[in-house]
Amino acid sequence: MTLMMKSCFVSLTILFLWQVEDVAEACKCLPVNIQQGFCRSDVVFSARVTGKEVVDIGNGPLGNSFKSIKYDIQVTKVFKGPGLRLDAVYTSSSSASCGVTLDTGDKLYLITGKLEDDGTVHITMCDFIKLYDDLSSAQTLKLIQCYTTGCGC
Q: What is the structure's pLDDT at 53? A: 95
129 three-state secondary structure: strand
- CA angle 109-122-91, nearest 5°? 80
Q: How many CA atoms lie within 13 Å of 38's alpha carbon, on the beta-carbon side?
A: 23
Q: What is the structure's pLDDT at 12? A: 43
Would you give the distance in Å from CA 113 to the centre of its chain?
8
- CA angle 95-109-137, nearest 5°? 125
- Alpha-carbon distance 131 to 47, whole Å? 10
pLDDT tens, per residue, the chain with 153 residues: 565 545 544 444 454 444 434 444 688 888 889 999 999 999 999 999 999 999 887 666 666 677 899 999 999 999 998 777 899 999 999 888 899 999 999 999 999 999 999 889 999 999 999 999 999 999 998 888 888 777 766
Q: Using an 8 Å Cβ cutoff, are 141 and 149 in contact?
A: no
Is the pTM for the entire model greater than 0.75? yes
Taking the CA atoms of residue 115, residue 117, residue 118 and residue 119 in that order, the dihedral angle to the nearest 10 degrees is 30
Please name the fold of domain 34-149: OB fold (Dihydrolipoamide Acetyltransferase, E2P) (2.40.50)
Q: What is the structure's pLDDT at 41? A: 94
Q: What is the structure's pLDDT at 128? A: 95
Q: What is the structure's pLDDT at 83? A: 75
Q: What is the structure's pLDDT at 138? A: 92
